[in-house]
Amino acid sequence: MTLTGDFGSPIQDSPPPSYPTVFGVTFTPIVTGILIAVGGLLVAAYLGSILVAPKLEEATALQLELSQQEDDLKQREETLKQLNKVVADLDQAKVNNQQVRTLFADQKALDTLLLDLNQIITASQARLDKYEPQPPAVVADGSLGPELNNKIKQQVTNVIMEGSYEQTIKVMQSIDSQQNFLVVRGLTVEAIPTKPGLVKSTFNMIAYVPLTPEELAAANPPPEPKPEGEGQKDGQPKPEGT
């Protein structure tokens, strides 16, 4: 059996798709996708340059300002600490000065020194034979250190007492324990031939007293101004008007 009929035309290949071409570059889907991606990156970079970069610069400037303020604050704190230390040192110096001044006698103590010494000697059952104070004098010879020159005065009192050796030791210990700054110098002890068991003690008792403000001003006068023209060399003309 034979079949006959029209079974259609033969299959023909379809033509390739047409893509636009610019400057010799064909914009296929792949190329187009790459260009779109690159364009997106460029747009993002541009937007970053005009939007993000100024904010970054502003943040950097703000950080620098904060750092500067922190440095200024630390400097102020350090300055405050130094100031507090200076104030504390001044307060301590005042305390030390007051404590040092309490070591010395005062004018009232000098006025009652005879009574105080006589009480000490009497309490030790000794006897005071001589009490001869000398006029107070300003210390300026460096014997107490150069720092106290013209700031302290001393009163020297010649003392002679009688008593046993034990009584004499007791008197010296009592003088040494006085709060006022008393110094015993030139002590000599000799036996009394007519009084067995007794000795005669001769010494100088020195009391140191800080100068009053008026005495300080008198002991430390300001330097006198040099006469006009003093210090000029011979042959140099004097200033006009002299």
132-150 pLDDT, tens digit each: 999 988 888 888 788 888 8
Q: How many helices (H) and strands (E) does the chain have?
A: 6, 7
Coil, strand or helix: which one is 236? Answer: coil
- pLDDT level of residue 228 (50, 70, 90 thresholds): low
Query: Is pLDDT above 90 for 203?
Result: yes
Q: Cβ contacts of residue 167 below 8 Å, gap of 6+?
A: 124, 125, 126
Asked if pLDDT for residue 211 goes beyond 50, the answer is yes
pLDDT at 122 over 80: yes
Q: Looking at residue 91, what is its pLDDT?
A: 47
Looking at residue 94, its pLDDT comes to 42
User: 3-class DSSP state for residue 187?
Assistant: strand
Rounded to the nearest integer, the mean pLDDT of the chain is 73
Q: What is the mean pLDDT of residues 54-78?
A: 74
The pLDDT score that the predictor gives to residue 160 is: 95
Give pLDDT, residue 19.
Answer: 59
Looking at the chain, the whole-number percentage of residues with pLDDT higher than 90 is: 19
Q: What is the reported pLDDT for 229? A: 57
Q: In a 10 Å sphere around its CB, with 0-12 CB exposed, 13-18 middle and 19+ buried, how is residue 201 labelled?
A: buried
Yes or no: say if 106 and 115 are a contact pair by the CB < 8 Å rule: no
Give the DSSP H/E element, type plus range, for residue 2: none
Please name the fold of domain 107-219.
Answer: Alpha-Beta Plaits (3.30.70)
Per-residue pLDDT, 176: 82
pLDDT at residue 39 above 70?
Answer: no
Q: For position 194, what pLDDT does the model report?
A: 92
pLDDT at 204: 93
Mean pLDDT, rounded, for 103-130 = 82
Please tell me what DSSP assigns to residue 8.
Answer: -
How far is the CA of 163 from the CAs of 67, 177, 186, 210, in angstroms?
81, 19, 18, 33
- In the chain, where the domains are located: 22-103, 107-219
The pair of three-digit structure tokens given for residue 216, joined into one six-digit string: 């300080």
Task: Give the C-alpha separation, 111 to 77, whole Å.
Answer: 53
What phi and psi values does residue 131 have, to the nearest 5 degrees? -140, 105
- Residue 95's pLDDT band, with cuts at 50, 70 and 90, is very low
The model's confidence at residue 190, banded by pLDDT at 50, 70 and 90, is very high
d(CA 140, CA 148): 8
Q: Which of 168-172, 178-182, 229-233 has the highest mean pLDDT?
A: 168-172
Question: What CA–CA distance (Å, rounded) separates 112 from 109?
Answer: 5
- In this structure, the chain runs to a length of 242
CA 196 to chain centre: 63
Examine the pLDDT at 106 and tell me if it is beyond 60: yes
**Average pLDDT of the segment spanning 16-27:** 60
pLDDT given for residue 75 in this prediction: 74
Query: Minimal CA–CA distance to 121: which of 31, 19, 203, 237?
Result: 203
